[in-house]
Amino acid sequence: MRARGVTSEELAEIRPSIGSVGDAYDDALMETINGLYKAEAIRTTVFHDGPYKTLADVEYATAGRVDWYNNRRLHGTLGNVPPVESEHAHYAALNREPQPA
């Protein structure tokens, strides 16, 4: 299957997530995300041993951070449990079968 280009009409239909396109809110959000990524994954050796020598090293560290962020970090608003654990508990509660009396 061949990918097609995006037309200017399709681009015109894209709406910003917050604020208007290119405003301070979008810029601040991206700066925050990039800053956290650099501080937590790139400027430390938590997700990678030693200096980064190749793009694969950066990708490996990024994958490690994503895994930690989604599966092991303790989330304060979720009762200090990892997001994946909270999600499993949520769906288990939804799918609970009635117990006999």
- Asked if residues 61 and 47 have their Cβ atoms less than 8 Å apart, the reply is yes
Q: What is the pLDDT along the chain (101 residues), one digit of tens a residue?
A: 444 666 777 767 766 666 666 666 667 878 888 898 899 888 988 888 888 999 999 999 999 999 998 899 999 999 999 999 999 999 888 877 776 76
- Is residue 82 left, alpha or beta, with left meaning phi > 0 and alpha meaning psi from -120 to 50? beta
For the chain, the domains span 7-43, 52-101
CA 62 to chain centre: 11
Q: Does the model's pTM come out above 0.75?
A: no
Strand partners, 81: 75
